[in-house]
Structure 1
């Protein structure tokens, strides 16, 4: 018994020493993580994953001090520690890429709408067709198979999956959720970041960034703000406006001489036709 206690104390001291030296520490949830996937993640050389009892981890965080004890507030269920070499936002993106599609289980809260896509299923009309209809899914028997007539949302983002829906999705082979290490909170050089702050949709972020850039560029262009991004656009517009003004005024330059002469020739031709018509009249 005493030997076991001494061993635990040693583990706390060793883990606390590592935590004290670390610039970044991430707290990850192991909840609902399949054993096969956990084994694969533990063998991943790119992830420095430490799994220990909750009490040992908590005591090590308290002993390490320097603000790491704040991570204890985010403990929920089964958790582990990661010692990332890169910043925690890049870690969040990396972990999201390692997540794997999985069947939804009863009680799970989905992070996005669960949609049944339009198209045929492998099932013949029967009880399943009735079940789908009761859920508001438009179906029709075509070619001896149940066919979903249009995309249908059966669980909305933020809602929990019921047993009936979980069973249905399993039958249809639909895997609407993903499993993997879930970043709960992270310490990065004195700052604590929560899962909401770290959960970045890269595609959405890039689209927002591009839209913001386009809006700023448009505003700068329309207000004649000169910078390295607008200078060429503004000069091109100024040149176009000056060229139009010179052409309309009949002012000859090297760049518009042919165009102005062609315009003058066209006007002269029109005037000649008008004079001939008036003489005949």
Structure 2
């Protein structure tokens, strides 16, 4: 039984070669497809098929917890060990997920989930297919020159066994529910076992959620004045703005407030001067009030002028186009 010792030795080397260890199920994967998948994944992970007992022996030799291996074996029909030194558990799951593809169900296959046929136009021409679909419980009818499914129908529940022609009929309408590929059954990384359900993440949604949570945490930290390297610039800017507002209200003269205070005093003075009789104002103040009034009147005048010029320009363009058109006719008739 030297081949068994060699296999165990190879498995021990595989288990020691990577930080992320996994068990996959290769049941139902054709030999040719398996060769292609291994070649594709060779650069990122090592895969070795062996009997469970030999895997247990290798697992014990490297000192791993046997309970973790039995957890990874749950639901496995034909196991293989996987090791990677360059991928974490999530990356490995994502990479192995790419090998999965649907196939038509055969008699004896187990429905992996509820099989639902939606109401639809199959696009198939009229023919015996109508009777075949109805014979397996899929309500079909010829309408508008094609075969149509009349209503949404649940044909199998999760765990039901495919019988007869059901799998073939579902395949004809584009439903291939049996997934084949290198199915990840779980990983062991850093002493922690990760189930497939934990690793199956929508990465785009995860990234969006993470950004949202970070923004919420930042806002909360700023609102409760929690000082960190991230919140300090915002908190300092907020405090500076609030301090400036208080200083202006209290008329505290500083290098930062004096320009604002002078501007505010000037506006107040102009307001008071505008309410007085012209005879009470000196020449300088009258000149300043006149400049303010002129500037205020000029703004709406400019807007009105721009609006009035727009149709004029359009009319000029239209006249130019008409002139060009008549000139062309004159040239045509000599």
TM-score (ref. length: structure 1): 0.65
Superposed displacement of residue 85, structure 1: 1.4
Q: Counterpart in 1 of 2:54?
A: 56
Superposed displacement of residue 275, structure 1: 4.7
SS of 2:184's equivalent in the other structure is strand
| Higher deviation after alignment, 179-188 or 224-233 | 179-188
Q: Does structure 2 conserve the Cα–Cα contact (< 8 Å) formed by 1:102 and 1:175?
A: yes
Q: Counterpart in 1 of 2:306?
A: none
Question: Is 1:271 aligned to 2:272, yes or no?
Answer: yes
- State how far apart, in whole Å, the 1-side matches of 2:147 and 2:264 are: 69
Q: Counterpart in 2 of 1:69?
A: 66
Alignment of 1:222-241 (within 5 A): 222-241=223-242
Kindly name which structure, 1 or 2, has the bigger radius of gyration based on alpha carbons: 2
With over 3 angstroms needed to count, the CA separation of the structure-2 counterparts of 1:146 and 1:212, relative to structure 1, is: farther
With over 3 angstroms needed to count, the CA separation of the structure-2 counterparts of 1:23 and 1:35, relative to structure 1, is: closer
With over 3 angstroms needed to count, the CA separation of the structure-2 counterparts of 1:234 and 1:125, relative to structure 1, is: farther
SS of 1:271's equivalent in the other structure is helix
With over 3 angstroms needed to count, the CA separation of the structure-2 counterparts of 1:165 and 1:200, relative to structure 1, is: farther
With over 3 angstroms needed to count, the CA separation of the structure-2 counterparts of 1:181 and 1:249, relative to structure 1, is: same
| Higher deviation after alignment, 221-230 or 267-276 | 267-276
Residue 5 (structure 2) aligned to one of 2, 7, 10? 10
Q: Does structure 2 conserve the Cα–Cα contact (< 8 Å) formed by 1:8 and 1:56?
A: no
With over 3 angstroms needed to count, the CA separation of the structure-2 counterparts of 1:20 and 1:246, relative to structure 1, is: closer
Runs of 5+ in structure 2 lacking a partner? 281-334
Q: Does structure 1 conserve the Cα–Cα contact (< 8 Å) formed by 2:100 and 2:182?
A: no
Q: Does structure 2 conserve the Cα–Cα contact (< 8 Å) formed by 1:114 and 1:176?
A: no
Superposed displacement of residue 249, structure 1: 3.6
With over 3 angstroms needed to count, the CA separation of the structure-2 counterparts of 1:72 and 1:15, relative to structure 1, is: farther
Cα RMSD, aligned residues only: 4.6
Q: Counterpart in 2 of 1:138?
A: none
Superposed displacement of residue 210, structure 1: 2.1
SS of 1:83's equivalent in the other structure is strand
Alignment of 1:81-96 (within 5 A): 81-86=81-86, 88-89=88-89, 90-96=91-97
Superposed displacement of residue 262, structure 1: 3.3
Superposed displacement of residue 66, structure 1: 1.0
With over 3 angstroms needed to count, the CA separation of the structure-2 counterparts of 1:237 and 1:84, relative to structure 1, is: same
Q: Counterpart in 1 of 2:248?
A: 247
With over 3 angstroms needed to count, the CA separation of the structure-2 counterparts of 1:161 and 1:258, relative to structure 1, is: farther
Q: Does structure 2 conserve the Cα–Cα contact (< 8 Å) formed by 1:61 and 1:72?
A: no
Q: Counterpart in 2 of 1:79?
A: 79
